[in-house]
Structure 1
Amino acid sequence: MWGFAVNIELVEYDSAWPGLFERERARILGVLPDAVLEHVGSTSVPGLCAKPVIDLMLVVDDPLDEASYVPALEAAGYRVTVREDDWHDHRILKGPDTNINLHVFPRGCAQVRRHLLFRDWLRDNAEDRELYASTKRTLAARVWERVQDYAAAKNAVVLDILERAYLARPVEPGEVEFVTETPPHNAPVLLEDHNPAWARWFAAEEAKIRAALGEKVVRLEHVGSTSVPGLAAKPLIDILLIVPDSADEDAYVPALLEAGYYLRLRERVWHEHRLLKGTEPNVNLHVYSPRCEELDRMLAFRDRLRAFPADREEYERTKRELAGRTWKRVQDYADAKTRVVERIILRALG
């Protein structure tokens, strides 16, 4: 069987690329007037060498609902070439010109922020821009069987750059409103080896929540360290609850209070997050609305730790090293894990 060689063509940055993006943006807005579009990929970064391909990102409510956007795009000359139902429901459409890729992702997908953060970081950071360009040139000099293999070979440096970008990004402004105060921790954090009973504890809480809320439960997931077999954890069950509107507390909080939970805090600016607590067993019930990026990130982190022992071991080493210190607040311990958590999430998102 004969193999096929692929040569990667890189060219120096072309000042015409932003104009090509604007042309395609106008074409798409002509058939989808409310479209949310961004120029992403290497051609969106001034000064960066790239394949001469304009990558656009379109954010829709549900990429699986192709009837809501594909016919309009087909009328503008686009055609669907890739469907990835098992990867963020990602779609790729080719433009009327062969050098146009339109990537479609759902609203709230972590890949959206990943693409924008990477683009903006490279625009603002010359050192990492040059690192990425140098890596691209080195790899492009090789012969590849598939373009995807060239893209995969860049992954290590992409993750390295993204880690710096995530850690450097400013914290979104906004205050945490504590509904119920707790005393300072002022102690190390107790970790236990994985306990198979934790899955049963979650199942009991799930049944209680579903009984309290019924059809108001959009999604309910066991997350956090106790959801990962083989991983040491605080004996605390983290639960992710998706409701139609987390800001509408009257629609779900009274029923959860009746079921034995209490409201710990509100974060109105940060995804309208609500945290409720349960005490027997110790439970953190995180409440978000649909199409929230945190859903994507929390599940990606959990599933990566379940499937990749090396990541699980890396995370546990960090947890054990940090847990032995004295922490004023348990949240300070959680914040200290940010670097390793972001690194693993980036690997999970791919």
Structure 2
Amino acid sequence: MSNLETDPAELDCRGDADAATSGSGPLHVEVLTARDVPLGGPRAMTVHRTLPQRSRSLIGSWCFVDHYGPDDVSQTGGMDVPPHPHTGLQTASWLFTGEIEHRDTMGNHAMVRPGELNLMTAGHGIAHTEVSTPETTVLHGVQLWIALPAEAADAPRDFAHHKPDDVVLDGVRLKVFLGELAGTRSPVRTFLPLLGAQIDFEPGARVELDVDPAFEHGILVDSGTIEVCDSDAPPLRRTELGYVGLGASRLSLRGVGAEPARILLLGGTPLDEDIVMWWNFIGRSHEEIVRFREEWMAHSDRFGQVVGYQGPIQHLPAPALPHSRLHPRQNSPGRA
């Protein structure tokens, strides 16, 4: 999902595994709160953005988390994002309710539906559109970005679809769309080790999950309230993201209260590289971002042309770059 702000924040994100500090006692959980951002459509639906932010830019190679809905699209106008570009990343689209039509410059015309992953690889460059369907009355989901490592940053365009099976434990239902968890593995290829899973809790249900201690983890609460047991954190509430640093080999999670709860569990090995992230581009330098913007505005073959989009804007203009250079931003992995 493209950022349509006229003055978007420009970020340089750095991952440095050697900077991790050790901790002791209860599991340390950093609570990240979302900021609301108007995005997409003539009446601008609101998304809750937890990554990137000032205190943390990445979790593994997950570099962007937008959480939206439940949104009554009859009132807001829904999602209608015109053709816009990406470089150096993968987009992971995941819905809880509703349906989104995807078109890209590879000629893919696909639907994003609840419980089904659409993973688009931008790499060298791609453009796409995202439009909620006329039949959608309630739109609710997440848009996630994954930063590609330097050796894959110029990878060719690609697109994958996967519908994971449910894994049912006592009072808990999991859908593992990327990586491996609870004995099930997604077949979808990623360029670095990653985890992405939806976990639904019946009221009061608790689950013990063996996780990779080489991963950072993020617990994004979509609904209800979640307790990270044996930790130093208060219960996590809707739109909050609990960050768990390196070293945790088990996560114990419990739904709190009389209502069901739902989370996304994201994880991965730290991206030990400097990346520049601005608008819809990820690069390795200020100059590279400038070049990407110029090529997009010049209708370069780097991005291609989306065919079949019916909106009035066929080529979303890029915002103006800031007058100052984009500078590196520290993003050191923490310790659990």
TM-score range, shorter chain: under 0.3
Is the strand fraction higher in 1 or 2? 2
Larger Rg: 1
Q: Higher RCO, 1 or 2 (CA under 8 Å, sep at least 6)?
A: 2
Is the helix fraction higher in 1 or 2? 1
> Normalising to structure 2: TM-score of the pair?
0.24
> Normalising to structure 1: TM-score of the pair?
0.23
